[in-house]
Amino acid sequence: MEFHIALTDACPDPDVVQDAMFDVDPNAVVDLDMSGLVMRISSYVTVTDLIEVLRRIGWTVASAQVVQLPTLCCGGCGG
């Protein structure tokens, strides 16, 4: 899944989020969109698990702030 989270004043650096995400999903990818105002996270975790990871690193995110996009699957992995 891909998640988009609007950045707030208290948001951590994307590298900090990436490190925390690796603990639950070693294939997770974290980056900022072109505007620099939205953090994008690609991972198989649920919204609830994602919010919990973010809270563990000190970023309090409400579920309403997280936009879950549909999976963009090319089918190449067979899954």
39: domain CATH number? 3.30.70.100
Q: Residue 48: which domain range?
A: 2-69
Residue-wise pLDDT for 15-27, tens only, equals: 999 999 999 999 9
Chain mean pLDDT for the chain: 89
6, part of any domain? yes
pLDDT averaged over 10-residue windows placed end to end, the chain, 79 residues: 88 94 95 93 94 94 90 62
Closest by CA position to 38, among listed 70, 1, 11, 71: 11
Look at the chain and report how many structural domains it folds into: 1
pLDDT at site 72? 67
